[in-house]
């Protein structure tokens, strides 16, 4: 199939595009190469993708309506996998406008392309952060998500609702994924695992926020990609919910669904650091700090809907996943 992957130089977009290329699809990879973190990492990811004859790289921002429209005329997509956007909870406190531009304006431009191309399925990367102040555990797709704790979360929730309106108005099939702390090889340098490994290897202290009392539902990248691949052909269809009543998030007024992607097995931050120390073979110097603005104490997904739809649930544990990351990190550092 002819598939657009936005954010193809990013952590998740890279892994997803590579898997789709392996399966024989034709991928147009769109990325703006923003300097949010080291561009060498983004360039190295894209260089791997560009070895495939099925990959077509395009470098521009989704806020560029002219460039996006020209590409749509030249190469209309059958499926859009929208992983581009400004990520990071803490960075949204420093540069909030970047989130409005990328996560709202960029998404709107892409929605217009999808509407005009009549795509078979629009798949959107949302986040567990939309659950915000939700106190119900585990987080289920039908829980309230109207109390975001950061602008980042607010823009992602807005993206879900913007897409719902197009699903209703134009019968555009939409699946929104809510990701939970994705990690693994080629991961982002601003995320805890990369920062912790880099600091421990360099003999520097690691910053442990919330004094280590936080828990996260960590999701290894291979599990995440497998879930997306299985969901891709399952375009939502009105009137066809799955599972027992109340499980499915399928909208009653449009082909729109929200799905958690996580294993539903949260791990405490301190045990996670213990696992990193074991993989690295060195103890961390732990600098205990209070909770940062916008952080939540716990994320805990229900994977029941994902399981009902696909028969799959993420299951790779942090011991295996962290070791794979450390092995990749050491190989990467030898090249830069």
What CATH superfamily classification does 192-215+265-298+315-333 receive?
A: UDP-galactose 4-epimerase, domain 1 (3.90.25.10)
Predicted confidence at residue 278, as pLDDT, reads 98
pLDDT surpassing 90 at residue 87: no
Q: What does the alpha-carbon distance between residue 291 and residue 300 come to, in Å, rounded to a whole number?
A: 18
Predicted confidence at residue 292, as pLDDT, reads 86
First to last CA, the chain: 35
pLDDT level of residue 295 (50, 70, 90 thresholds): confident
Q: How far is CA 211 from the centre of its chain?
A: 26
Sequence-ordered list of residues with C-beta below 8 angstroms from that of 51, at least 6 positions apart, any chain? none
CA–CA distance from 208 to each of 149, 273, 280, 292, 295 (Å)?
20, 9, 17, 10, 12
pLDDT surpassing 90 at residue 85: yes
> What φ, ψ does residue 292 adopt, rounded to 5°?
-90, 160
Kindly report the pTM of this predicted structure: 0.97
Predicted confidence at residue 62, as pLDDT, reads 97
Q: Strand runs (DSSP E) across the chain, as ranges? A: 2-6, 26-31, 55-59, 79-82, 121-127, 174-179, 182-183, 205-208, 215-216, 219-220, 256-261, 267-268, 285-288
Are the beta carbons of 258 and 179 closer than 8 angstroms?
no
Name the nearest CA neighbour of 16 among 227, 159, 178: 227
Give the model confidence (pLDDT) of 92-147 as tens digits: 888 999 999 999 999 999 999 999 999 999 999 999 999 998 889 999 999 999 99
Topology (CATH level 3) of domain 2-183+218-261: Rossmann fold (3.40.50)
Predicted confidence at residue 195, as pLDDT, reads 97
Q: Please report, for the chain, the start and end positions of each structural domain, with discontinuous segments joined by +.
A: 2-183+218-261, 192-215+265-298+315-333
pLDDT surpassing 90 at residue 160: yes
In eight-state DSSP terms, residue 305 is: H
Half-sphere exposure of residue 305: CA atoms within 13 angstroms, side-chain side: 27
pLDDT level of residue 174 (50, 70, 90 thresholds): very high
Q: ω into residue 297 within 30 of 0, thus cis?
A: no
Give the model confidence (pLDDT) of 187-233 as tens digits: 999 999 999 999 999 999 999 999 899 999 999 999 999 999 999 99
Predicted confidence at residue 92, as pLDDT, reads 86
Predicted confidence at residue 89, as pLDDT, reads 78
The percentage of the chain sitting over the pLDDT mark of 70, rounded to a whole number, equals 100
| Average pLDDT score over residue span 153-158 | 96
| Average pLDDT score over residue span 317-334 | 97
Q: What does the alpha-carbon distance between residue 6 and residue 2 come to, in Å, rounded to a whole number?
A: 13
Predicted confidence at residue 203, as pLDDT, reads 97
pLDDT level of residue 293 (50, 70, 90 thresholds): confident
Give the model confidence (pLDDT) of 35-78 as tens digits: 989 999 999 999 999 999 999 999 999 999 999 999 999 999 99
Predicted confidence at residue 322, as pLDDT, reads 98
Residue 253: how many other CB atoms lie within 10 Å: 11
Name the nearest CA neighbour of 117 among 74, 55, 155: 74
Predicted confidence at residue 2, as pLDDT, reads 97
> Pick the catalytic residue: 152, 183, 220, 329?
152
Are the beta carbons of 165 and 202 closer than 8 angstroms?
no
Q: Which helix (H) or strand (E) holds 49?
A: helix 39-49
Look up 91 and say whether it is catalytic.
no
């Amino acid at each position: 199939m002819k598939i657009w992957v936005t954010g193809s130089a990013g952590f998740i977009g890279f892994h997803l595009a590579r898997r789709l290329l392996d399966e024989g699809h034709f991928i147009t990879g769109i990325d703006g190469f923003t300097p949010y973190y080291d561009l060498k990492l983004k360039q190295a990811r894209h260089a791997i993708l560009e070895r495939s004859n099925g990959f077509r790289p395009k470098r521009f921002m989704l806020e560029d309506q002219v460039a996006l429209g020209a590409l749509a005329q030249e190469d209309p997509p059958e499926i859009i996998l929208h992983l581009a956007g400004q990520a990071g909870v803490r960075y949204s406190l420093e540069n909030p406008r970047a989130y409005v531009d990328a996560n709202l304006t960029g998404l709107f431009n892409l929605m217009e392309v999808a509407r005009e191309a009549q795509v078979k399925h629009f798949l959107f990367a949302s986040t567990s952060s939309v659950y915000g102040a939700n106190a119900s555990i585990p987080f289920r797709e039908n829980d309230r998500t109207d109390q975001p704790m950061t602008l980042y979360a607010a823009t992602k929730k807005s993206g879900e609702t913007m897409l719902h309106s197009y699903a209703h108005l134009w019968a555009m099939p939409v699946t929104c994924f809510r990701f939970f702390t994705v990690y693994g090889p080629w991961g982002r340098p601003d995320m805890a695992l990369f920062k912790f490994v880099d600091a421990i290897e360099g003999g520097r202290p690691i910053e442990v926020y919330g004094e280590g009392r936080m828990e996260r539902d960590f999701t290894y990248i291979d599990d995440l990609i497998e879930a997306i691949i299985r969901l891709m052909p399952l375009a939502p269809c009105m009137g066809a919910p799955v599972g027992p009543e109340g499980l499915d998030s399928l909208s009653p007024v449009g082909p729109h669904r929200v799905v958690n992607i996580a294993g539903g097995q949260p791990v405490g931050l301190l045990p996670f650091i213990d696992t990193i120390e074991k993989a690295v073979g060195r103890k961390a110097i732990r600098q205990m700090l209070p909770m940062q603005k916008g952080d939540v104490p716990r994320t805990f997904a229900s994977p029941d809907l994902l399981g009902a739809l696909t028969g799959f649930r993420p299951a790779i544990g942090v011991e295996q996943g962290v070791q794979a990351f450390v092995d990749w990190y050491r190989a990467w550092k030898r090249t830069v």
